[in-house]
Amino acid sequence: QCDLQGLWRNELGSNMTLWATNAAGTFSGSYHTAVAATNKQILVSPLQGAQQHPSAKRHPTFGFTVQWQFSDSTTAFVGQCFVDRRGKETLETTWLLREEVLSHKDTWKATRVGTSVFTRIK
């Protein structure tokens, strides 16, 4: 079983805490990014997510959004939790970061995409 609850770190050094998933599969948490696309001071930001089949699945898929407290952007992550033979858990994710642009003409440059792997630190 893969448990999303806990403290996780990705390859950028960002940390996130995920609180326990409820019976409906939804969860919340906080995200402390190590990097930002803005020059503003980084603040810990809340996240809201949902996991599929919270009790039944061994490698559940999930998604969450981060509402950044220091920028106008939003990031959505989707991913899957894996456990290797030694019991090491990883969250393999893909993210989209939408930044606020002042005109729809700038939409073409408003979205970044990437992948990220989180490992449990607590």
Tell me which residues touch ligand BTN (CB under 6 A).
Answer: 10, 12, 14, 33, 35-38, 68, 71, 73, 75, 95, 97, 114, 116
d(Cα 74, Cα 42) in Å, to the nearest integer? 14
Least separation, in Å, of the C-beta of 75 and ligand BTN?
A: 4
Residue nearer to ligand BTN on the CB measure, 17 or 57 = 17
H/E/C letters for each residue in 23-52? CCCEEEEEEECCCCCCCCCCCCEEEEEEEC
Residue nearer to ligand BTN on the CB measure, 50 or 117 = 117
Residue nearer to ligand BTN on the CB measure, 18 or 54 = 18
What residue ranges in 1-122 does DSSP mark as E strands?
A: 6-10, 15-18, 26-32, 45-51, 61-67, 74-83, 89-98, 111-120
Least separation, in Å, of the C-beta of 85 and ligand BTN?
A: 28
Residue 18 · residue 75 · CB < 8 Å? no
Least separation, in Å, of the C-beta of 43 and ligand BTN?
A: 10
Residue nearer to ligand BTN on the CB measure, 54 or 77 = 77
